[in-house]
């Protein structure tokens, strides 16, 4: 059992002109109880229009094109999340302490501090055509949709005290076409035969491959035999899909390619085969308060010392983090041959 509340305002306006031109507009504003107060109110509009050109241009008289319409629409929608994700909650532990019932935090998901609603923006355009007194019809649609600020649960290290954290992360793009072709080959007084063929294609893949990072002990397999480099993976994909290099930059170490006939994007993160330290801008903070500048090296800065030495403000901390970027190493040294130097396990790398 749970409770959630959404207060909404909705408005709509429609305009028609001589039965061949139509325009519809809507606006909706929601206030959701499952989002932080500063972000719990959001609006999303829509606009759609259609034009029946066979009526406007009086084209029905030619006997070939019976009906023709053009249509287009644009819209944005918003989504909230599940209830009870914003705060810590407490419960009674199963085991008493000194014969006393003890309460503890029962929340396993770290509450967010600035969660935003997910926004999805879409555009669609198409046409509907009918020929030979409606005996043959064609419907074509092109659409594109982009969702941003997706609400996701991501895992946290056990040392944080929580199992997951809820954040806004990720963008997904859908793009495709739909084609419907149909007809009525047989029309009689007692029997009609209708047939149709539908074709659709959708492309929405955005994926990255990462080579194994040798940061700990592995006993169940040999690194040299299991390592598949980014170049090998790319060649396997190229056997079926041509990949074109791009200048796309996510601010991280991935090198991106796109498929020749679609916007599908494939990234490759290559700590073994293509050392990216010189362009990497990623750092991590460990539970000990150290700013870890590279997963493959021991370069780090003690932020805890700065916090304790300058508790009156964050200016010194900011400057220390900025200055530490000059200490990032030029490269790391990973090997797939035999044993490697064990730098740290993944649960010690921070986040």
Domain ranges of the chain: 1-203
**Dihedral angle over CA of 236, 241, 244, 250, nearest 10:** -80
Listed in order, strand segments (DSSP E) in the chain are 6-17, 21-32, 41-52, 65-79, 90-92, 103-105, 109-110, 118-131, 136-148, 151-155, 164-168, 172-187, 192-203, 206-210, 243-245, 255-259, 265-269, 284-285, 290-292, 300-302
Question: What pLDDT does 342 receive?
Answer: 46
Q: Report whether CATH 2.40.170.20 matches the domain 1-203.
A: yes
The ranges of the chain with pLDDT < 70 are 1, 157-159, 170, 202-206, 212-227, 250-252, 263, 277-279, 332-351
What integer pLDDT is reported at residue 338 of this predicted model?
53
Q: What is the pLDDT of residue 52?
A: 94
What is the token pair recorded at 11?
């408005």
pLDDT on residue 218 = 52
């Amino acid at each position: 059992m749970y409770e959630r509340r959404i207060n909404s305002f909705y408005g709509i306006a429609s305009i028609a002109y001589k039965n061949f031109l139509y325009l519809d507009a809507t606006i909706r504003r929601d206030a959701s109880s499952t989002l932080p107060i500063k972000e719990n109110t959001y609006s999303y509009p829509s606009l759609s229009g259609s034009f029946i050109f066979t009526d406007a241009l009086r084209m029905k008289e030619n006997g070939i094109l019976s009906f023709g319409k053009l249509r287009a629409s644009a819209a944005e929608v918003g989504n909230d999340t599940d209830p009870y994700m914003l705060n810590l909650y407490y419960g009674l532990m199963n085991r008493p302490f000194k014969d006393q019932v003890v309460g503890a935090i029962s929340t396993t998901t770290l509450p967010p501090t600035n969660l935003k609603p997910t926004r999805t923006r879409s555009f669609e355009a198409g046409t509907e055509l009918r020929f030979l007194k409606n005996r043959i019809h064609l419907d074509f649609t092109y659409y594109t949709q982009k969702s941003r600020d997706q609400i996701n649960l991501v895992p946290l290290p056990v040392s944080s005290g929580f199992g997951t954290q809820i954040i806004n992360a990720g963008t997904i793009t859908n793009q495709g076409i739909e084609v419907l072709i149909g007809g009525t080959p047989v029309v009689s007084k007692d029997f009609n035969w209708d047939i149709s063929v539908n074709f659709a294609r959708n492309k929405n893949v955005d994926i990255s491959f990462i080579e194994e990072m040798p940061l700990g002990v592995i006993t169940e397999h040999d690194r040299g035999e299991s390592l598949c480099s980014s170049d090998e993976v790319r060649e396997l994909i190229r056997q079926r899909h041509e990949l074109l290099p791009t200048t796309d930059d996510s601010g991280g170490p991935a090198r991106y390619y796109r498929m020749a006939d679609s916007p599908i994007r494939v990234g490759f993160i290559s700590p073994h085969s293509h050392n990216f330290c010189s362009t990497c801008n990623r750092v991590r903070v460990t539970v000990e308060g150290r700013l870890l500048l590279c997963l493959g090296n021991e370069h780090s800065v003690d932020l805890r010392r700065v916090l304790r030495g300058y508790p009156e403000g964050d200016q010194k901390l900011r400057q220390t983090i900025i200055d530490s970027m000059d200490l990032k190493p030029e490269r790391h040294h990973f090997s797939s041959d035999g044993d490697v130097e064990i730098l740290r396990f993944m649960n010690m790398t921070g986040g």
